[in-house]
Amino acid sequence: MWREYLRGDDRIMIPLGSTEQHGRHAPLGTDSLLAIALAEDASERTGVLIAPPIWYGWSPHHMVAPGTVSVRPEVLIELLYDAIRSLSRHGFRKFVLINGHRLANLPWIQIASERAQRELKVSIFIFDLLYMSLDLRKKVDFGPFGHGDDMETSHLMHKFPELVRMEEAKDYVPERVVYADPLEPKDTLCYIPSTEERMMEIKESTGDTIIGTPSRSDPDKGKLYYEHLVGRLVELLQSIR
């Protein structure tokens, strides 16, 4: 199948996510599951192949909750680079990396992608769920950006409703003068993962490890979000044909 595909196409998608806590109401595999789902639906519309996903990400601040697996960024850089290098040896030249872990995954994905383009002479496109929904933010009433927030939870409620326990959802929005939210039209700081100590403080004071307003989640908002992302991903894949 792969040989036949490569005779007429050199595009491939790689979903990237994480295995980390998403509060009591959402599954550990949230980021990976949503990235994989987008790749699968885009593949159905375009015929572009999907490589096996990378289920782990950089999640040091989420080690406060059991089940989280955090991999060092230098290890993830090498893993992603080797995956691209291997696939390029077989003839793939255009790679779309679908990042479901949002800001925490971007630095190491960018470093691996730059190296791959420079050394392997391939083309890399990073499709990040957060940045690819900037326009939608103007039309859909999502709460503040966080972790396990209503954007992520609404997405889950649309695609994987059986994995969401809304009765367990708790809201928490920290009071800050300046916040690292790329969806906020005001000036923002650049994102740095929190510390395990800070996450423990949140856990002890709120009973959970969520930042945002998951109680505002709605499967209809999740559907709009998801269809927007699939449409943009299909457009990207078609544009690099």
**Better-predicted residue by pLDDT, 177 or 232:** 232
Spatial separation of the C-alpha atoms in residues 55 and 52, rounded to whole Å: 9
Domain containing 129: what range? 1-240
- At 205, which CATH number? 3.40.50.10310
**pLDDT, tens digit, 9 for 90 and up, residues 6-52:** 999 999 999 999 999 999 999 999 999 999 999 999 999 999 999 99
Has this prediction a pTM greater than 0.85? yes
CB atoms within 10 A of CB 195: 12
Model confidence over 141-199: pLDDT tens digits?
898 888 999 999 999 999 999 999 999 999 999 887 566 777 777 778 888 888 999 99
Domain count, the chain: 1
128: DSSP letter:
E
Nearest in space to 30 (alpha carbons), one of 107, 84, 82, 104: 104
pLDDT band at 3 (very low <50, low <70, confident <90, very high): confident
Output the six-digit token pair for 176: 């800050």
